[in-house]
Structure 1
Amino acid sequence: MNKRYLSKNYKGLGSAGNKAKTDIEAILKEIGYRNVGLKQSSHDNKIIGFLVTLLGVLKTPFSLRKGDILVLQYPLKKYYELVCNIAHMKGCKVVTIIHDLGSFRRGRLTIEQEIERLNHSDYIIAHNEAMAQWLQQHKTTAQIGCLQIFDYLSKDKAQFKETAPTPYSVVYAGALSSKKNAFLYELGNYMHSYRFNLYGGGFDASSAKNEELFTYKGFIPSDELITSACGHFGLVWDGDSTSTCSGTYGEYLQYNNPHKTSLYIRCLLPVIIWKKAALAPFIKENNIGICIDSLENLDEVLSSVSQEEYETMKKNIVTISDRLSTGYYLTHAVDEAYQYFKK
């Protein structure tokens, strides 16, 4: 069985979504998968980008052979079902790595439409067990495996600092506008013994409660952030509320793997995450952070973290960070798929 994947044009390589996809292509190439499309490109022009991806799709039937395994990254917009059908016509098996479920966050598809699309695949790599169970409950016919967490490639390495002076400071990276994350603007009501360092765009300090407790660092490219992030913990939280992760983005945390979690780990920052998030079991089992119900008691939770507990988390996170930097989790997930077809 030959191992294949399909590359495409990625507009805006600096975005977190495309970083995850291009990392996956790099890892697949490293472990022996060959591209059946055109060479990966990053044209910002929509028309050129569209044509490059289309030509890569049209090249696919000439590059596949019977018995091949083809890895696709989902969503692939209008081409996904077409490429699956081409692969099956050529006698190949399709492995789909899910990045985003459109029926959840954007609502562009109904659940039924999304499952119908995904059922064109023979094997699906879901983010985690929660997403795998959701797919099974909605009658996905493909075999399902789990990624666990997204790898994060970068030649840059964070400097290991075992100890941290208290009070601790917390890093939050991502979209900082009130439209995306209204919770940030209420957080000052509950902050007393810790501070927040914010990385990203769109923060309106004048609208935040107790704005002096926030230090706005602006947007910093991820590689640079790995070596320069200032703080002791990284926060994974989304939505409108400080008491729970709510709204479209917040509720999606129960099923998806936010890429920023992997970024924090590469920064060697223990993770603070919502207790009901799909990644919370991973954080707990590896002892690389704290799972919380509400941000409203974060002050109390952080105050109770001893120096010894923090140092243990830091040592554990080095191991996970090294794995993310080498493509450990994707390699394991696609190997499980390969072994499934070999049987």
Structure 2
Amino acid sequence: MIVRKDKILRTHITNIYGQSSSSTAMIAQNMVTEVAKSLGFNEIGIYSYPIHTDTPQEIRKRIDGMLAGVSAHDVVIVQLPSWNGIEFDELFINKLLSYPGIKIAVFIHDVVPLMFENNYYLMQRSINLYNKAVTLIVPSKAMANRLKSEGLVMDHIVIQQLWDHVTSLMPAAPKFEPLINFAGSVTRFPFVKSWHNDTKLQVFSQYDEKNLNERVSYQGWLPDNEILRHLNRGFGLVWSENTKNQFEREYSKINLSYKLSTYLASGLPVIVNQGISNQKFIEDNNIGIVVPSLSEVDQRVKNITKAQYNDMAENVKRVGYLIRQGYFTKKILIDTMHQILSY
């Protein structure tokens, strides 16, 4: 709570519920909210439901209930998208703007029109929504530039740079081994099925089909702390491919990968595709290998010495500590509050 002249200014943050326990979108918002609560923010719960079963009036009533703890002159950080659709997000933001003196910051996790080709028609509505905020939190400078090219007029922008992955786990030093770990859907990342590299691939994902590739080992989906314990040798892979309706490779240049922080939190050096939005951070901190194609992975892994691997692992240890403690999220939330209160 912040005392400002004769007004009591309270801070709030939205948080989604009701999705699958393996939903990265929900996991990320829940994590940000827990960090925000440690800084004194109040939580506004938003539940995923089929909003098209409601009339606009019924949706407004739901939103009124969600915002029961919000008052005039408060600060609200809205994590978007809510995944209840652009119609819900518009009604939610517009309701907030009806409070006198309210200040809104939008924390962009994903931009749906840039994720899916057939949703690009929503781009202008998304930009209009972002422009209603006082401050915007974006994944990267590249994302800020892309949104400005689409019509964003916001000047108060906070760059996220990296996800946190808050956990009490204290990982041991990883084992140097020619093994690549990948946490991601086989359907969304089809390269897994056609993996032909000499280096073995260990996949943490649900997979019902029979595995005919001896170079790939499927471990199934594991809860958070369990997967972090399993990520204790080799490298963590962050890789994007373009598929029908989803230009993952292009999107990775402006967005952030949550799995990158999962690997770093567990202590693993990483292998990432060239062009990823935080490539410079990875290179500057010597915490992984950047390659232009999967065909180069084998040679790069074979050329790494144990001493070089341990050096990267030691650097990951330092970055991983910050990630596990939520320091990147704390910084962007504090920077956002500074911008809002100086507006």
1:145 aligned onto 2:145: no
Equivalents in 2 of 1:299, 1:109: separation in Å? 37
Indicate if the aligned counterparts of 2:74 and 2:102 stay in contact, CA closer than 8 A: yes
Equivalents in 2 of 1:50, 1:293: separation in Å? 47
Amino-acid identity (%): 20
Q: Could you report, residue by residue, the CA deviation over 1:74-117 in whole angstroms, capped at 9, with x for unpaired residues? A: 01233322232232222111111111111012232422232122
1:221 aligned onto 2:220: no
Equivalents in 1 of 2:220, 2:234: separation in Å? 18
Q: Could you report, residue by residue, the CA deviation over 1:114-140 in whole angstroms, capped at 9, with x for unpaired residues? A: 212222222111111211221222221
Q: CA deviation at 1:196?
A: 1.1
Equivalents in 1 of 2:60, 2:233: separation in Å? 44
2:70 matched to which residue of 1? 64
Indicate if the aligned counterparts of 1:187 and 1:296 stay in contact, CA closer than 8 A: no
Equivalents in 1 of 2:96, 2:294: separation in Å? 47
2:335 matched to which residue of 1? 336
Q: CA deviation at 1:14?
A: 3.1
Indicate if the aligned counterparts of 1:171 and 1:196 stay in contact, CA closer than 8 A: yes
Greater fraction strand? 2
Q: Could you report, residue by residue, the CA deviation over 1:120-179 in whole angstroms, capped at 9, with x for unpaired residues? A: 222111111211221222221222211111111223332223x514xx1100111013xx
1:305 aligned onto 2:304: yes
The equivalences for 1:243-254 within 5 A come to 248-254=247-253
**Structure-1-length-normalised TM-score:** 0.85
2:141 to 129, 135, 146: 129
1:14 aligned onto 2:22: yes
Distance 1:93-1:176 versus aligned 2 partners, 3 A rule: same
**2:75 aligned partner, one-letter code:** I
1:327 aligned onto 2:326: yes
**Residue aligned with 1:218, SS:** coil
Q: CA deviation at 1:283?
A: 1.4
1:264 matched to which residue of 2? 263
1:120 matched to which residue of 2? 132
**Residue aligned with 1:212, SS:** coil
Equivalents in 1 of 2:54, 2:315: separation in Å? 43
Structure 1 gaps of 5+ residues are: none
Indicate if the aligned counterparts of 1:183 and 1:238 stay in contact, CA closer than 8 A: no
**Structure-2-length-normalised TM-score:** 0.85
1:102 matched to which residue of 2? 112
Equivalents in 2 of 1:219, 1:280: separation in Å? 27
RMSD (Å), alpha carbons: 2.7
Equivalents in 1 of 2:302, 2:59: separation in Å? 51
2:90 matched to which residue of 1? 81
**Residue aligned with 2:162, SS:** coil
1:239 matched to which residue of 2? 241
**1:319 aligned partner, one-letter code:** R
1:196 aligned onto 2:184: no
Equivalents in 2 of 1:9, 1:295: separation in Å? 36
Number of aligned residue pairs: give it: 323
Q: CA deviation at 1:259?
A: 1.1
**Residue aligned with 1:164, SS:** strand
Distance 1:22-1:56 versus aligned 2 partners, 3 A rule: farther
**Residue aligned with 1:233, SS:** strand
**Residue aligned with 1:232, SS:** strand
1:93 matched to which residue of 2? 103
**Residue aligned with 2:289, SS:** strand
Structure 2 gaps of 5+ residues are: 1-8
Equivalents in 2 of 1:57, 1:282: separation in Å? 39
1:34 aligned onto 2:42: yes
Equivalents in 2 of 1:282, 1:205: separation in Å? 38
Distance 1:203-1:236 versus aligned 2 partners, 3 A rule: farther
